[in-house]
Amino acid sequence: MSSTTPALLAVLAHPDDESFGMGGTLALYSQRGVETHLICATRGEAGEVDPQYLEGFSSISERRESELRCAAGILGLSGVYFLDYRDSGMAGSPDNQHPNALAAQPVEVVAARIAHMIRQIQPQVVVTFDPIGGYKHPDHIAIHSATVQAFSLAPDPAFLDPLPPFQPHKLYFHTIPKAYLRLAVGIMRLIGKNPRHFGRNNDIDLAAIVEEGSFPTHARINCQSVSAAKEAAAACHASQLGGALPRRGLVALLSRRLSLTETFMRAFPPPPEHLRETDLFVGM
C-alpha cells in the first residue's frame, strides 16, 4: 500500500472479536477512508455451535470464517489475514493442550509473523486487546503479548525479514470500561445471577475482571454514527448469538451502551498525564 494512505491494523484472536469489541472504531475509520486491516489469529474452532448453523459448512472453523467475512464486508475492512493458529478455548479447557493452540505458541514466533504483516501493511495505528485480553481469554492475552513484541520488532533493522523496517506511529489497547462491568456485576447479583458465570457458556468471570483493576482511558471514540453498522456486523456471527442479537435484558443494555463509545489505552508513544484523545490518528 502507499505510505501516504492512512491505515489502521487490528490484531485480534477470533472471528467476532472485530465486531463485538472495537467494531464501531473499525467501521468509523473505514468510513473516513482509512485502510482498515484485520489480523485474526484463529478461526474460533473451540466454540460451541448449534447443529443448525453448520448446515452447508464442513466445520465450525469454516462457519466462523464465513461469519467474519460477512462482518468484514459490513465494517468496510480493506483486508483480513488469518495466522491459522487454533482457538485455545477458555483457561483450563482441553483445547489449551492442542499443539496448534494459539496460547501454546512461543510468543516470539507469533510476534515475528505479526511484525512481518506490520511491515507489509504499514499502518500508522495498531490496535489490540488490553493486557488481560478484555475478559482473560488465553488467546486474547497471547495475541496482546505478541502484538506488543511485534510493534517493537517491525522497525528494528536487526529483525531479519524480507521487508524493510517500518515504524507505526501509535499502539493502542482496546479496553472495557470498568464502570459498566461493575454495573453488570451489581445487576446480576440483584437478580440472583452469579457474575462469576457469565456468557453463553457461563465461563466468563465478570467479578474477577472487575477486581483486576482498571486500565487508563486515553482515547474515547464516538461510534454513534456507525452503531447500525456495528450491530449489523455483530449479527453476522449468528452461530455465536443463537441467530439474533439480544434485544432485552442485561446483555442488550450493556451492548447498546458500549456501542456508542469505544475506549482505548495508548501504549505508544507513552501518553502524557491526563491524555484525552477523541481520534486515534490525532497528531499525524
For 228-234, what is the mean pLDDT? 94
In a domain, 35, yes or no: yes
In a domain, 39, yes or no: yes
In a domain, 158, yes or no: yes
Residues 40-94 have pLDDT tens digits of 999 999 877 888 989 999 999 999 999 999 999 999 999 999 999 999 998 888 9
- Cα(10)–Cα(3) distance, rounded to whole angstroms? 18
Three-state DSSP at 140 gives helix
Least confident range of 9-13, 57-61, 133-137, 152-156: 133-137
pLDDT band at 144 (very low <50, low <70, confident <90, very high): very high
Residues 156-197 have pLDDT tens digits of 999 999 999 999 999 999 998 877 778 778 877 888 888 787
Q: Which three cell numbers stand for residue 246?
A: 439480544
Q: For the domain that residue 111 is a member of, what is the CATH number?
A: 3.40.50.10320
In a domain, 249, yes or no: no
The candidate with the shortest Cα–Cα distance to 145, out of 157, 128, 161, is 128
- Cα(115)–Cα(53) distance, rounded to whole angstroms? 35
Q: b or e along 71-97 (b: 16 or more beta carbons within 10 Å of the residue's beta carbon)?
A: bbebbbbbbbbebebbbbbbeebebbe
pTM of the entire predicted model: 0.91
In a domain, 253, yes or no: no
For 144-148, what is the mean pLDDT? 98
Q: What is the pLDDT of residue 241?
A: 78
Provide the number of structural domains found in the chain.
Answer: 1
Domain residues for the domain of 80 are 7-176+216-243+262-268
